[in-house]
């Protein structure tokens, strides 16, 4: 959505209490960034995972209370890796998360304060645009395989979300410890 690119960028900026939600990225996505020549050594294993990492945020140059993705150009407010950005970034303002019992994977929408653009949409606009696009992602990106290959890519249950869809039950292999 062009409005996202030109107006907001809240998905690339985090308050100190939100740093935990820095985007997750798979080893395969990191390799894609490396091959593009845009690589920066800013990835740390997510909870000791060998296949899923998290982007280390940097202190914003424009705000003392904000941390930003190191791939965000703060002058232009554009992402340097936009065309090859990780799934976690491309899927935003939706996240994949486990339910409370960790036996199902859910597609959830983050709170509206985390995505100011969706705050401006009517319920109809949200249903037709965002929810429809989330369903396209689910079908196009084969979320089931992604969840199987990278269970650490799935977020723990978050209360400040609303569930859009249930993807599938998890297997014991997929459930985080």
Q: Which helix (H) or strand (E) holds 87?
A: helix 87-91
Q: State how far the Cα of 51 lies from the Cα of 58, in Å rounded to an integer.
A: 22
Confidence class of residue 91 from pLDDT cuts 50, 70 and 90? confident
Phi, psi of 61 (to 5 degrees): -80, -15
pLDDT of residue 8: 59
Q: Which tens digit of pLDDT belongs to each residue from 31-74?
A: 999 999 999 999 999 999 999 999 999 999 988 888 999 999 88
Averaged over 139-168, what is the pLDDT? 82
Task: Tell whether the model's pLDDT for residue 139 goes beyond 70.
Answer: no
pLDDT band at 1 (very low <50, low <70, confident <90, very high): very low
Compute the mean pLDDT over every residue in the chain, rounded to the nearest whole number. 82
Instruction: Provide mean pLDDT across the span 108-125.
Output: 71
- Would you report the helix, strand and coil content of the chain in percent, each value rounded to 5? 40, 25, 35
The HSE-up count of residue 122 (CA atoms within 13 Å, CB side) is: 3
Q: Is the pLDDT reported for residue 6 higher than 60? A: no
Give the Cα separation of 99 and 30 in Å (integer).
Answer: 28
Would you call 69 exposed, middle or buried from its count of C-beta atoms within 10 A (0-12, 13-18, 19+)?
buried
Sorted by sequence, the CB contacts under 8 Å of residue 140 that are 6+ apart come out as none
Decide if 38 contacts 71 (C-beta within 8 A): yes
Give bridge partners of residue 59 from the DSSP assignment.
67
Cis peptide before 158 (omega within 30 of 0): no
Q: Residue 52, Cβ neighbours under 10 Å: how many?
A: 22
pLDDT at 5: 57
What number of helices (H) and strands (E) belong to the chain? 7, 11
Percent of the chain with pLDDT over 70: 76
């Amino acid at each position: 959505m062009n409005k996202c690119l030109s107006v907001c960028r809240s998905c690339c900026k985090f308050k100190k209490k939100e740093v935990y939600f820095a985007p997750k990225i798979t080893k395969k996505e990191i390799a894609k960034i490396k091959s593009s020549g845009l690589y920066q050594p800013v990835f740390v294993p997510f909870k000791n995972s060998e296949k899923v990492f998290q982007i280390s945020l940097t202190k914003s140059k424009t705000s003392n209370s904000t941390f930003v993705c190191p791939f965000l150009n703060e002058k232009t407010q554009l992402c340097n890796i936009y065309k090859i950005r990780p799934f976690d970034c491309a899927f935003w303002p939706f996240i994949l998360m486990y339910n409370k019992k960790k036996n199902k994977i859910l597609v959830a929408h983050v709170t509206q304060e985390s995505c100011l653009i969706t705050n401006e949409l009517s319920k109809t606009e949200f249903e037709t645009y965002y929810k429809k696009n989330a369903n396209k992602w689910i079908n196009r990106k084969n979320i089931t395989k992604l969840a199987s290959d990278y269970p650490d890519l799935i977020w723990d249950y978050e209360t400040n979300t609303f569930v859009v869809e249930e993807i599938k039950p998890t297997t014991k292999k997929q459930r985080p410890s």
